[in-house]
Amino acid sequence: MNKLTAKLFVVLMAVSLLFSITASANPAIVSYGSTYSNTLTAGQGYAYILPNAKTTGTSIKITASAANALRLHYYWSYNNTTLDLGTAVVNSTNYNGGSGYFSPGTLVTVIERVPDSTTAYPSVSYTITFN
């Protein structure tokens, strides 16, 4: 149990450091099958931490109030290593993403605003579900 707690602490610290300069990314530990809602304005971000993510595949569904206004950044953490899996723009109001991973670990999904979208959409609400 102490190893899991230490790994979650390291992931939380990494996410906090990544967004301390440009955005406020408040982390939330999430679980499969649950839906989470939030609203982001310019410069805001939010981190979702999914411990013990499935290696066979994790699907992420997002329903947003505006297309091309949110950006996802994925990180995979395992064996004290964090991999940057890249960025995806939520290009429609209904977005489905996710992937399978080669080793058991923690999936960190950071959602932030697309900077050029803040004039047209000052705030964007969304729901995210992990399956």
CATH number of the domain that residue 16 is part of: 2.60.120.380
Reported as a single tens digit per residue, the pLDDT across 37-94 is 999 999 899 999 999 888 788 889 999 999 999 999 999 998 888 999 899 999 999 9
Q: Read off φ and ψ for residue 18, nearest 5 degrees.
A: -60, -35
C-alpha distances out from residue 115 to 6, 44, 112, Å: 34, 10, 9
Domain that holds residue 15: 2-130
pLDDT, averaged across the chain: 83
Best CA proximity match to 66, nearest among 90, 97, 96: 90
The pTM of the full predicted model, rounded to 2 decimals, is: 0.77
Q: How many domains does the chain have?
A: 1
Banded pLDDT at 101 (limits 50, 70, 90):
confident
- pLDDT at residue 16 above 70? no
